[in-house]
Amino acid sequence: MKNEHPGVSCLYKFIDAFNTAEKNNIITNLHFPHYVHSNGNEPVIYKNGEDFWKSLKVQLDTMRNIENWSFSNQKLTNSQSNFNEFYIRFYDWYVQLNKILLEKNLAYPGMAYRKAANEIEKKDLNCKKVWFVGLNALTKSEQKILDVLKKRDICRVFWDADNYYYNNPDHEDYFNKSSSLELRDIKRNDRFIQYGLVAAKMAVEDAGLYNLDENKKLRVGVSVGSGIGGLETIYEGSLTINKESKKLSPFFIPSSLVNLLSGQISIKYGFKGPNHSVVTACATGAHSIGDSSEIIKRGAADIMIAGGSEAAVCKLGIAGFCAARSLSTGFNNNPELASRPWDIDRDGFVMGEGSGIVVLEEYENAKKRGAKIYAELIGYGMSGDAYHITAPSEDGDGGYRAMSEALKMANISSDKVEYINAHGTSTIKGDEIELNAISRLFQHNIYVSSTKSSIGHLLGAAGSVESIFSIMSINKNTLPATINLDNPIETTNINLIPKIPIEKKITYALSNSFGFGGTNTALLFKSI
């Protein structure tokens, strides 16, 4: 049939592929009772394979008849009325079915798996080794059973299709789900959301925010943004709608929207405090952290999950930045050398992707909880260039004012700052303009480096990731290097830390982030 649902067609083809004997054999070997709705009364358990297949065919015929109906003013057919009745009474039948099965000491697979998963940790298993072969799309119960057996070291996975598909670096859809992303999180969300969920999990675990009571969750907010959001999802969606045979996923919009990352994090952990998302291009991650600190200051939250995430390494993203002449092209044969901030041979940035998320908390609240405190955010400065859509103002005044505002908020003099994690993108004009602004504000000998030389430019995630670099520089007494800095441009009082990190104890570290449209921000961190 022209309008037949693909699922109905597939089932018919499946049935037609087997003769009666084969059908009965399949049922026999499945080892669990099958049940279907019958005559609009109550669930019926079929132990006879042939009866099951006949009943299934009746159900499929009914589906054919109601496939294209809608809630209109036209009179419903008997099949359509029965269909409505089925779903009205579905829950009651489900309860009845469970009762019948329990009375007969039977279970359908979902019941059995859930019961086994809930009890397996209490059981002593009399087996030396359990082999799992051909796993794919595990349920939560199945995954729990597998994890318990792995912990007891009596489990060996011979072939797991999901693991291969998502954890094989040679596969085009590679994504390391060792950080325990569920399969549905991967399938339903753009990569920028996936990255953010993984980073948020790490941050939440490190901060000890599991098992908060419901009242405390009311005081935990989320502010995680992205410069572009679900760019690849949007691109793929545009291709899909041009194919008549394909339908757009119902998760297209939720997977693409920037604020859905904050939403997903909030939903996952039940955090009900302020929830919003910043979109300020390459300053997004830094603005998210700065804005979150202000939210805490004004008493709207005790804790904020903050940062940025980006996944724009796709055909559309690369093509777009190439068209804007932002990307390096002179090192295509040696791409590992292409990101080289402040080197005389720099010719553009290298795109990276990922997520950086931190937990900000009111100081006394963090101490009371016994939280691990890495550093204190003491300064937050913002400014606008009002100059050009992509280029910074030639005098670097925007960056200068953002850094000055951060110092002003912290109430410290410029000579206190020992290290700056610069925006340093490896662009010809941008790098030099930023250094001039730094030299203008900081007259003493100061250490400056760009971690973009090592990880690329993470766009909306850059500011939060580089804030983490700055925090860890304080925490680990190590200043990261600017790699690929073979021939530095001339500077006066600035040590660009070429190639090799420097071990140095510091108290203050500044992180700069600038974005298209002339948006600038600076975050100042202090050791505890």
Q: How many angstroms from the chain centroid is the CA of residue 479?
A: 28
Catalytic annotation, pick one of 34, 37, 287, 423: 423
| Catalytic-residue membership of 314 | no
Q: Which pair of structure tokens corresponds to residue 121?
A: 């940790």
Distance CA 135, CA 111 (A): 19
| Catalytic-residue membership of 444 | no
384: left (phi over 0), alpha (psi -120 to 50) or beta: beta
Return all residues near 81 (Cβ < 8 A) that are at least 6 apart. none
Buried residues in 438-449 as b, exposed as e (16+ CB within 10 A): bbebbeeebbbb
Q: Which pair of structure tokens corresponds to residue 138?
A: 């595990």
Catalytic annotation, pick one of 34, 37, 287, 457: 457
Backbone angles phi, psi at 142, to 5 degrees: -60, -40
Q: In a 3-state reduction of DSSP, which class is residue 521?
A: strand
Catalytic annotation, pick one of 37, 282, 287, 314: 282
Q: In a 3-state reduction of DSSP, which class is residue 413?
A: coil
Residue type for position 374:
Y
**DSSP E strand stretches across 118-199:** 130-135, 155-160
Whether the Cβ atoms of residue 376 and residue 485 lie closer than 8 Å to each other? no
Q: How far is CA 50 from CA 13, 23, 106, in A?
A: 17, 7, 21
Angle at 209 between CA 114 and CA 204, to 5 degrees: 85
Distance CA 154, CA 159 (A): 16
Q: In a 3-state reduction of DSSP, which class is residue 525?
A: strand
Q: Tell me what percent of the chain is helix, strand and coil, each rounded to the nearest 5.
A: 45, 15, 35
Q: Which pair of structure tokens corresponds to residue 250?
A: 């119902």
Q: How far is CA 191 from CA 5, 23, 258, 317, 353, in A?
A: 30, 42, 12, 13, 9
| Catalytic-residue membership of 287 | no
Whether the Cβ atoms of residue 251 and residue 189 lie closer than 8 Å to each other? yes
Q: Which pair of structure tokens corresponds to residue 290?
A: 């700065």
Distance CA 289, CA 306 (A): 5
Catalytic positions: 282, 423, 457
